[in-house]
Every structure is written in structure tokens, then in C-alpha cells.
Structure 1
């Protein structure tokens, strides 16, 4: 792809400077007032603005981010690999782009040229990326400076980030709890204010789940909305984007990564809320019968009340689907990916599949597929039919409101990939009861961190739409962010 100079960006009207007045106008006052390079209490757009005006250099912001990383990393373990030397060298070149010079991290499931890519697995510890992945390459064109690769569970296959290869990543809000997965390292590092946003991906909830656990904004884009490599999967469930401190960062990242060719209409850069009042279906009950804890149920009720207070119509609703049947078919599809990964890990390492190179959770999923692979085609047919069923729900309303996850983040170890397979499966499927339908349907969905427990833990609220409703959700997110800003909330670990 053509590389653009700062001058050509300005001439084309696509530079940060071209939209900063509009982005600033819609930002909460707590965002506008956040300017401390030392603490990281500002978003990526603010950082890029300071760089573009000459108030600070990329090297200064990157060095400050590295300093923050060195202070909190011993507590949270969010890096699979630190690439500080590479980051310092890149920052010195004053990279241009929408986020020119802004520090970030790239998820360990993404290739970033010159950096290791473990895929969260011991089998790939010697794997050095020769090139960027397609999506990561677009981020490089935006001008970001990656200071490291963030931790992920093995191949992103579980909702906790406790891979054997790097050890457990911890939630900055409570170090005894998980940060979610699979983008757990990205979420932990962003919540700890090491970086303002981080690369993430979502195949079953892996942007929204850690965003909920760590008090961040997390948009799962619609299938096909953002640039991606070609896929031969019968259903493409995974998409790539980010976890962010603010809505405006997510919106700007989204616009800069839109696919050049798609059957979806271009969303463009969403700058703020709109005046349209929405009909919101409020469905707090898990379709697979998982039980919500009291704090999660209280929080989602408060979110429904907030939407009413903002003038939206909120109706009570129940998902018309057999959640246990959907779960069974989705897990078989998910397990097929695990089976393929086991083969890939064996081929790369030159060792036979065993707990020596692949985690028990991954092996258990692979065995689940192998024992039922004659049912795979029927499961795919079910999931494809589900896409139409899901889309039909929105004939009667605009947006679906549910919890993001069913409980507060579990303790470290409860969802360990080395634990008893059946016990871990029960914990995982109950915890992530709400997120997978949007991956199957290809729909837009987002976690908005507007609720918190009395003890200071974030509780996610998930808003979902049809495929292609990314702009609708971002506009709603701006409104919610303005009503109940969250950026001023910071974990205690960065106050000490």
C-alpha cells in the first residue's frame, strides 16, 4: 500500500489535524483535560495532537510509555514480548499518520515485523515475524509505535489470559482476577494506562470480554467492515480492531482501517452522538441459562435506566433461541479451530501433539472436534441459518442490550488452561454466554464501561446491532460516554 507523507495527508483532508476540531467538540471534558504524558491519562487522539503541534515528540511519549510499562508490568504481566528497542528506533523516525508516533501494543496473535509471535503457545516461541499481518500493517501505516506484543491465551481459545508460555496476566483493577481473554494483555496494559489503546481481535468475544473485565471501550466490528486477509473458513467469526480508553480513539482507528472493498456501506469517521432516539431491546437473561451475579444484574439494570433517561425507548425482551443448542454448535465449530492449531503447532515444533507443546485446554477442544467431526457440516449449516435468524430480530428494534459477561471477572486459576477440562468449560461457557452470537452473525457489538461496583470493579454493558451497524453503535457510545465518563477512573496500581 502507498505510504503517505504528512503533507499528503493534510492535502487529502484525512490527517488528524483535519478532524481534531470535531473530535475535540464531542469529547467529554475529562478527556480534554487529560494531558499528562507521565501518567498516560490521555487518549491516542490527544497524544497525536500533541505530537503534531510540536508540544511533545513521539520519542518522549514512547519513553514515557516504556517507563509506565516497567512500573506496572511486574504486577500485571501483560507483555508476551517487550520490543522497547524497536519502539525507540521507530519513534526517532517521527512516523506520520492519523496516530503518528502514538505508543501502543500489538496482540500476540498478530504478526508485527521483527517481533516474536507466540500465538500464546510454547510451540511458537522461536517464531519471529518476517512481515506484518494485513491488519497490523494498516496500523503501521497509521503511524503507531508498538512497544511490545501483548499476551494472549493459546491461539485465543479461552476467555482468560493464563497461557503456560508467559504465565497469567492479571487484572489491573484486582490483581487476583483475570483481565479476560483473549485480548487480555492488550486490555490490561490499556487499563493500566501504559498505552491509550491496543490491538485486539474477537472470535467469540475476545475484544468485548476483556474490555468488560478491564473497564474499557471495546467495539467488535462487523464482518468485512475492516481490512483483513482472505479467509477460507466456512464462517468467518473473527475480526480485528482495538480496546481503547475512549470512544473517539476507537472511531478513528475504525475509519482508518476500513476495508477498501466490502459489501457494506462505508461507515467513515463517526465524530459524535446523533439525535436519533433508538428502540432498545433489553435482554438481561443469558440464552444458555447461565446465572448472572447480583452486581452484574444490578449494573445492567442501571444501564437500561440510563438509556431511558437519555430518551431512548427500552423494551423488555428475551432472545428467541435455544441457547444451549447454539452453544453446542458453536463450540464444535470453535473446537475445529483448536484441532487445526494442534496440527500447526506440531508441524512448526517438529514434535507430536502432547501437553509438552500444547495446553490441555487446547488438546481437550481438539479431541472434542475429533470425536464429533461427522457432525461438523450440520453445525456449520445451523450457524449459517442462525445469521438470518439473528438479523430478523432487528425488524422490531434498533439495538440489543445485554450484559457483556455474566459475572465479575473470576479469580486467576478458575479458567486456567491446565485445569480440569469439564470444570473450565462450565466456567467459560457460563461467563461468556452473551458474546458469540454476534461473531456468528457478523454483527457489530460493543462493550461500554459505564457501570462499576461499589468496590470499584468495572461491569460491562453490551450493545449489539445488525451487521453494518458500527456507526449506529459508535454514535450511541459517544452519548453514553458523555453521560457517564469513565476515563478518569484509574486502577490503584498506577497511583502508587
Structure 2
């Protein structure tokens, strides 16, 4: 029997979002330490159920809260995902095969996150190396979805999403190499924006990738939290190659032409729950005065999916066989990787000859993606191929060939934005009859996060997002 759980209570942060907490700290209504103490109490009460925290750093977080940063979200407690370095903490990549030593310095993105004003309370749980779209392990307890605890919280940023959705924190770091911000946002009823490539500081591993598919960001419960975070990152480092992005504070009067894509090219039609959510969104958009028209999937989608699956396998092969060097972890033991990592690595070996063509296809996707916006402002699609499954459906313990096909079908819509570098956002616009959140996905041309956020504000104002505490 599924259970809904949350950590909201009458404490220093109540049901405030990040902007609300930062404003209260700035006004002196609460202190950053009080906000941090509230989050720690919530985490200690709820994480035994969720299993969403990988590493705790509460004592240092409390000490740091005495002198909070003065960024746009100054004094707001948060967590960093376990694949990103935080000085003094290990970076274990969600894997039993990695037992890293504490990092000697922050990753560049962690520096950017701190500059926004966020305090770091520790690391969030993630599936091994981020390969899975669900935060599950072959031999460890899974991270649970607070809306329905017998269901997946998504992945790979599943721990972050579970903590934000349940009210433990208001915002948490997430990153996205194939949908790993947007997938858990959809599963847990959150706002999940994957920025344009290079909008924020690149991930540490980007320099060694033939195609940089990873974008850092956050998951939040409100559009304004995401907008404020992104604006804060631009004050730390504004990329010269992209159009400037300031603070987006609300909807626009501009009416949009929006392309509609309902089915992916995986050979599996979108399930009824995700299809119904998108069609209901079309009705809302039309009522708000926007023009929605059906469009094809951008580019040569069949070839793209084959290339992305191969690239996914290539990255797993590189980790499995060169993990000590890839992750600078002398204690890496490839005998302890899970069946998904091992299966992906074997898949690459069988198809290694496809690598040059796959990389060319992924690099070409940027141009084809841009062309898709010649006649539309945004593209609307499901975030996922089917609604959030029960735990076990995407477990690494499942036979590899079965699991791989399930993952391809589940994460059918998100990878194009990673390879092409285009921005996209998942919004919690609908729910299943039994109360599981269903995300709806919007994509924009490179650099146009502003239009995504403006429309997100409009849809949030038209019908506020469901709250887990109601």
C-alpha cells in the first residue's frame, strides 16, 4: 500500500519557498541558522523513510549558517548531488564501487551554487553514475517518492527531488545528462529546468566528453525559485556566447506558437496518463490564447536515438574500465559496479564500431534542433513515455535487456536537449487518478530560458501546482 509523506511543519521555514526563506533571512524575521536547523530536523525525521541523503554534513552547515552568503538566495539551506565535488566530502557517484576521499576543493559549479547564496548540508542520493532514470540499486534500499512511497522518485537526481518534493528543503542541486533534472521533477511534482549548454558553469566531466551532454541546475517547487536561482548564476558567471538572462519575474503578454509532439520514436506510444496530461495542457494553452500546432520530432529522430543509446553505453564502458582515471578515484573497484553499468559496458563492446557515426550524429543534432524552432516558439511534449512506475520496475536487478528497453521507453523525450544543448523545462501540471504527479515538457531554442520561464509562470498562475501537504 502506498503512502504519502512530507516534512512540512510549523517551524522557521513553514511552507515558504526559497525566495520566501531568503526574504525572511534578509528581513531578520528568521536567521539562516534557524532555517538550517529546521531543515536538519525535517531531514532527520523523514530521510529514514525516503533514503534520499547520501552524505550528511550538518555540523559544518550549521557553523557556516552563522555567516550566510549574500547571493540572491542568501541563507537558504540546500544539498548537492553526489556526483559533484564539495570540499571536505566524498564524491561516490552513487556507487558501491567508488570510495572516494574527501574532495580538497569545491567543483566549479558548487562555487557557483554557493555564490547564489545556498548553504550545503550534504550530498543527495543518486543511482550508480547517473545511468538510471530511477534512484534504485541492486542491493541497497531505493530512494522513495514522497507522493507515493512505493513508486520511483525518478533519476538520476532522485534524492534531490524527493527532498524538495517532501518539504525537507526548498531547492536542491540536480544535473541532467539525459533527463536527470526533468525526469525526477516529473516524477515528484516539481519544476525542473535544464539550462542551455554553458548557461551555467559546465560539469567537471564535460571537458573529457566527446559530446558534452551534462547541464547543472536545480529542482524546486515554484517557478520563481528556479528563475531566481538561474538569475543568480548569471551574476556569478554570464556566458558571452548566449543572450543575457536577468531575473524573469512573471508571465509575458506575448502569445506563443507552440509545436506539439505526442509520441517519441522508440516504437512505443506515449501511455494514456502522459498523453492525457499533454492534451489537457493543450486545452489550457489554447484557452490562454496560445496557438498549438502539431510538429514532427526535431531532426532525424530514429538515428538520434540509436546514437544516444550508443553514447550512453560508451560512457558506461569508459567508467567501468577506466574508472580510476575518469573519477580520479584510486579506490575504484569495477567488480562492485551494478548490473546496469556492466550491461551498458558490454553493449558498447558489441557495437564499438558505431562510435564515430554516433558522435557525428549527436553533434549534428544541435543544428537540426535549432531548425525545429524556425516556425514555433516552443515545443510541447510529455516529459516521460509513461507515468512514474512502482519501485522495482527500473531496478538494476532487472535483466539488463529488459531494463534497457524500459529505460529507453521511459526517458524517450528528454535526451535530445542534452545532445543538442537546448533548454527545456518539466512542469508539474497534472496528476494521475491515484495522485502521482505527471510532468509536461517544454523545449526552446538555445538561450531562450526566458520564454520557458514566462510560460511556466503563466501556467502556475492559471492553476497553482498541487501541494503534497494538502
Superposition TM-score tier, normalisation by shorter sequence: over 0.9
Is the contact between residue 96 and residue 143 of structure 1 (CA under 8 Å) also seen in structure 2? yes
Shift of the 77–352 alpha-carbon distance from structure 1 to 2, 3 Å rule, reads closer
Shift of the 72–39 alpha-carbon distance from structure 1 to 2, 3 Å rule, reads farther
Matched, 1:362 2:338: no
Q: Which residue of 2 aligns with 1:83?
A: 57
Distance 1:264 1:36 in 2: 42
Is the contact between residue 346 and residue 353 of structure 1 (CA under 8 Å) also seen in structure 2? no
Shift of the 320–270 alpha-carbon distance from structure 1 to 2, 3 Å rule, reads closer
Is the contact between residue 35 and residue 42 of structure 1 (CA under 8 Å) also seen in structure 2? no
Q: Which residue of 2 aligns with 1:433?
A: 412
Is the contact between residue 310 and residue 348 of structure 2 (CA under 8 Å) also seen in structure 1? yes
Unpaired stretches in structure 2, ≥5 consecutive residues: 1-7
Cα-to-partner distance string for 1:132-160 (whole Å, 9 max, x where unaligned): 11011111122211222101111111101
Superposed CA RMSD in Å reads 1.9
Is the contact between residue 115 and residue 128 of structure 1 (CA under 8 Å) also seen in structure 2? yes
Distance 1:149 1:327 in 2: 32
Q: Which residue of 2 aligns with 1:156?
A: 130
Distance 2:441 2:354 in 1: 31
Q: Which moved more, 1:214-223 or 1:66-75?
A: 66-75
Shift of 1:387: 1.8
Q: Which residue of 2 aligns with 1:24?
A: none
Is the contact between residue 152 and residue 390 of structure 2 (CA under 8 Å) also seen in structure 1? yes
Distance 2:138 2:402 in 1: 18
Q: Could you tell me which of 334, 338, 345 is aligned with 1:353?
A: 334
Is the contact between residue 264 and residue 412 of structure 2 (CA under 8 Å) also seen in structure 1? yes
- The SS at the match of 2:347 is helix
Q: Could you tell me which of 162, 179, 195 is aligned with 2:153?
A: 179
Q: Which residue of 1 aligns with 2:217?
A: 241
- The SS at the match of 2:401 is helix
What is the correspondence of 1:7-406 to structure 2 with a 5 Å cutoff?
Answer: 37=11, 40-164=14-138, 167-228=141-202, 229=204, 231-258=207-234, 259-319=237-297, 321=299, 323-346=301-324, 348-350=329-331, 353-354=334-335, 357-406=336-385
Distance 1:263 1:351 in 2: 37
Distance 1:263 1:49 in 2: 32
Q: Could you tell me which of 425, 428, 439 is aligned with 1:460?
A: 439
Matched, 1:418 2:397: yes
Shift of the 166–107 alpha-carbon distance from structure 1 to 2, 3 Å rule, reads farther
- The SS at the match of 2:156 is coil
- The SS at the match of 1:422 is helix
Is the contact between residue 151 and residue 166 of structure 1 (CA under 8 Å) also seen in structure 2? no
Shift of 1:92: 2.0
Is the contact between residue 121 and residue 165 of structure 1 (CA under 8 Å) also seen in structure 2? no
Is the contact between residue 98 and residue 331 of structure 2 (CA under 8 Å) also seen in structure 1? no
Cα-to-partner distance string for 1:24-83 (whole Å, 9 max, x where unaligned): xxxxxxxxxx99545641111100100011000111111111111112111111001121
Is the contact between residue 136 and residue 142 of structure 2 (CA under 8 Å) also seen in structure 1? yes
Shift of 1:96: 2.5
Distance 1:335 1:277 in 2: 41
Distance 1:124 1:470 in 2: 36
Is the contact between residue 217 and residue 247 of structure 1 (CA under 8 Å) also seen in structure 2? yes
- The SS at the match of 1:391 is helix
TM-score (norm 1): 0.88
Unpaired stretches in structure 1, ≥5 consecutive residues: 1-33
Distance 2:181 2:365 in 1: 22
Matched, 1:408 2:395: no
Distance 1:344 1:77 in 2: 29
Q: Which residue of 1 aligns with 2:4?
A: none
Distance 2:333 2:78 in 1: 36
- Displacement over 6 Å in runs of 4+: none
Shift of the 409–490 alpha-carbon distance from structure 1 to 2, 3 Å rule, reads same
